[in-house]
Amino acid sequence: MRARAAEVSRLFEDGVRSGRITMAALFSADYAPVPGSNPPQFAPPFVAFTDAVLPPVLEGALRLGENVVFCAAVNRDGFLPTHNRKFSQAQGPDPVKNAALSRNRRFFDDRVGLAAGRSTAPFLIQAYRRDMGGGAFATMKDISAPIIVQGRHWGGLRIGYRAETVRLGLERAA
């Protein structure tokens, strides 16, 4: 986990060094609302950059095991700019479907999302009920590690696992 977060840190630093993005843009809190989005989505200045550099890391993490549900970076505000492809579908008229499948460009500023984005510990492990929209929830375990850019804490890289699969895997190992 820490190696993947370090890879994101390196990608962000390379982007700043090459001029693809500025530190001001990368750390911007200017969250422009996406008109008509439900649940609300936002477009801060760094979204195009994260959409360009994060997918290989995020999609690669899904291949770690069948119990891995998602991998995403969140900033210190709990904002998730770029998600896995399966959770980055265009929004439609159904807000329940949007809540489940259009999870990019959204705030996840609940206790778990904020802790993942704000923790500077080498890693953080949390358990929670993931709101999938329409009253549906999934029990998840979340492992995160900090993303540091030129000495500044940007946020955290999160990997979510289905808790049931993790538990079954541990039972088989015993």
Alpha helices for the chain (secondary structure H): 2-18, 23-26, 47-53, 55-61, 95-101, 111-118, 163-173
CA angle 53, 99, 57 (to 5 degrees): 20
- Residues spanned by the domain of 57: 2-173
How many domains does the chain fold into?
1
- Length of the chain, in residues: 174
Report d(CA 16, CA 12) in Å as an integer: 6
Tokens, residue 81: 């700019």
Q: pTM of whole model > 0.85?
A: yes
Grouped pLDDT means (10 residues each) for the chain, 174 residues: 96 99 99 98 99 98 93 98 98 95 96 97 93 78 98 98 57 42
Report d(CA 21, CA 52) in Å as an integer: 11
CATH number for the domain that contains residue 29: 3.30.450.20
Burial annotation 81-95 (CB, 10 A radius, 16+ → b, else e): bbbbeebbeebeeee
* Cα-to-chain-centroid distance, residue 38: 19
CA torsion sign for 18, 21, 24, 160 is negative
